[in-house]
């Protein structure tokens, strides 16, 4: 994490995170494997954000959306289209699904109802769920439970077209360890695995946090992890969720979660991702995470850095591509 002090053309010290972190309360707070000079090198002009990188899969495409409404519609359409195409091929299809982003689900419902496409061939695997230190999860009807969120946003509104209940999987400590076997069985029958995801402030996918990278000697060992029960969440993940899901009330946010791991998420045949972390008055929280995802390069300390190595689409709101510069709000 250490970085050399830099000076401008006048010989004046540049005062920023790298030049002031030593000895501060944040020294040692961020993941040990994060290279902040490399992170800063990912930040360039808005028009360069989608410049193709050597490590990108040829089938990976970032897509700029002009508004939140456009973002939710495009992403929802992409999910619904995968369901429709699988139905037309007479194939089963498996989805790893997030709670966050969420706005696209109403459009999944809209398009499937317009097309009259049912989900009897669809199998869903929610990627994570809040837990305690033993992996116990919230009651299914708790307002904060991801299982409840999925019922309200997707499964119930689909009505008669919905995913059969016995084909819905949630990340309880009993069920999460069975995901790999269930997904492998579906793929053996010809099913495609689609990863739907958002990207966290700490560049996590699901709740696979950056500090987990320090537990493994090699990328191969890291990539071979299918899940984790009662994962310890990074403090900034807690704060991100306090802001986005708990009306700023940190005291409501659990500090652990059950989560899928790289072995499942990065074995997907196709990905559908979304970054919508922009507020009003020019404020946002996801611009740096988006750029790290696209340009950092595959690294076990930055889970989302593997996303561009897979075929699929990553939708993002145009505000996230704006210049990342100081602006006092």
One digit per residue, pLDDT tens: the chain, 329 residues? 455 667 777 887 788 998 899 999 999 999 999 999 999 999 989 999 999 999 999 999 999 999 999 999 999 999 999 999 999 999 999 999 999 999 999 999 999 999 999 999 999 999 999 999 999 999 999 999 999 999 999 999 999 999 999 999 999 999 999 999 999 999 999 999 999 999 999 999 999 999 999 999 999 999 999 999 999 999 999 999 999 999 999 999 999 999 999 999 999 999 999 999 998 888 999 999 999 999 999 999 999 999 999 999 999 999 999 999 988 87
Residues with Cβ within 8 Å of residue 27, at least 6 apart in sequence: 1, 21
Residue 44 and residue 106: Cα distance in Å, rounded? 34
Q: Where do the structural domains in the chain lie, given as residue ranges?
A: 55-321
pLDDT at 5: 66
pLDDT at 207: 98
78-109 burial, b at 16+ Cβ within 10 Å, e below that, comes to bbbbbbbebbeeeebbbbbbbbbbbbbbebbb
Angle in degrees, 0-180, between the axes of helices 68-89 and 105-115, rounded to the nearest 10:
40
pLDDT at 316: 98
pLDDT at 329: 79
Architecture (CATH level 2) of domain 55-321: 3-Layer(aba) Sandwich (3.40)
Residue 22 and residue 232: Cα distance in Å, rounded? 25
């Amino acid at each position: 994490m250490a970085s050399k002090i830099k000076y401008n053309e006048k010989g004046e010290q540049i005062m920023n995170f790298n030049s002031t972190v030593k000895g501060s309360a944040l020294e040692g707070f961020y993941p040990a494997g994060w290279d902040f000079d490399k992170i800063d090198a990912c930040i360039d002009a808005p028009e360069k954000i989608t410049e193709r990188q050597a490590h990108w899969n040829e089938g990976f495409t970032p897509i700029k959306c002009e508004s939140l409404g456009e973002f939710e519609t495009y992403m929802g359409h992409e999910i619904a289209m995968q369901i429709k195409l699988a139905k037309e091929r007479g194939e089963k299809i498996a989805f790893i699904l997030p709670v966050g982003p969420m706005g696209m689900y109403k459009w999944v419902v809209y398009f499937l109802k317009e097309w009259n496409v049912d989900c009897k061939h669809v199998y869903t695997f929610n990627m994570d769920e809040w837990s305690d230190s033993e992996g116990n999860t919230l009651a299914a009807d708790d307002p904060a439970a991801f299982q409840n969120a999925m019922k309200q946003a997707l499964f119930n509104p689909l009505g008669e077209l919905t995913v059969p209940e016995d084909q819905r999987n949630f990340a309880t400590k009993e069920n999460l360890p069975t995901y790999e076997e269930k997904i492998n069985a579906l793929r053996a029958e010809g099913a495609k695995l689609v990863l739907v995801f958002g990207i966290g402030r700490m560049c996590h996918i699901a709740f696979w946090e950056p500090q987990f990278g320090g537990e493994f000697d090699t990328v191969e060992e890291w990539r071979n992890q299918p899940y984790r029960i009662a994962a310890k969440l990074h403090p900034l993940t807690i704060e991100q969720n306090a802001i986005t899901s708990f009306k700023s009330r940190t005291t409501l946010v659990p500090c652990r979660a059950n989560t899928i791991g790289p072995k499942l998420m990065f074995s997907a045949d196709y990905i559908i991702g979304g970054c919508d972390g922009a507020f009003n008055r020019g404020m946002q929280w996801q611009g740096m995470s988006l750029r790290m995802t696209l340009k950092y390069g595959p690294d076990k300390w930055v889970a989302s850095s593997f996303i561009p190595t897979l075929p699929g689409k990553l939708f993002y709101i145009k505000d996230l591509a704006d210049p990342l510069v100081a602006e006092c709000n």
